[in-house]
Structure 1
Amino acid sequence: MAWDEWERLKADAAARGSTGMRLNHVPTDPGGSGTGDLKSDRKAWTQAGADTKGLQDDIAKALGKLDDGQSGLGDASGVQSAAAQKELYASWKKYVGDVKGRCGELGGLLERSGHDLAMSDAEVKAELDRISAKYHDTEAVGGDPKGR
């Protein structure tokens, strides 16, 4: 590129003037500071994480009660209802255990987000997606309720 062509391009750019900075294609408020109403409170994020992780204690108590209620079943062989109840118990124990694990992981993510607020939206979304994939819920029993 010739020197005079470079000078012409710089002059053209200077003549157009500044367009101002726009984040994520959202124009700034005319006459305003452009900061909008976005606020983030570290304490709120951290407290939400601690509260979510705190749910694990109550869930652990519920799992203990579930175990206690199951203890009198004994041998389920030969009794269909007892075998079905034992299968249901195992299913619920796994599900409630997964809920407990999900609370712990989600609470930890919220706490980490609150402590440093340094995670990007993409990083938080990736963590949430990882948690969702790990604790994928089962489909609802009884068919699709939308048609009812």
Structure 2
Amino acid sequence: MTWDEWERLKASAADKDAARMQLNGLPPEDRPNAGSPSGGFLAADQQDLAAIGNEAFKLYNRLWKEARVTSTDSAASDLSSQGFALGGALQHVSTRWDKQLGSVMDACALISNHMDFTRNAHAGDEVFIERHVSSIQTLDAGFDDDWAGHGKPNPVYAEKKDKKD
């Protein structure tokens, strides 16, 4: 492209009304979350989280009451003291059962606690995002020519008048 051709293209673009600089953005109806405390779409359904946490808690309690077998240890001791090899095997099974039961109970407790944490974390995230988006909306309004007619100050940045009573 030569310099003359460049100058011709610039002059042609300047003559057209459509070739004006503008800041692009979404219209307010397409920004339902901007500054709206109830319009956020980031949501954690409290009932679902509570239900999962509650079921995990109930399972933990049932495992504590029903899955622990203390009589196996005493049976293993009795069999071993009487010279039966089955006593050692039964003790091994009991030890493995207790380890596995502990792992499942720990997982239930983790799930229950995590549901409480997730519910609180998402609620905090929603507030954080809402604050940032609404501050972006205010900044964006300062660049929007639609807020005031030509030659009039933008009310977003208008100075507050002191009231003296």
Q: Which is higher, the Rg of structure 1 or of structure 2?
A: 2
TM-score (norm 1): 0.49
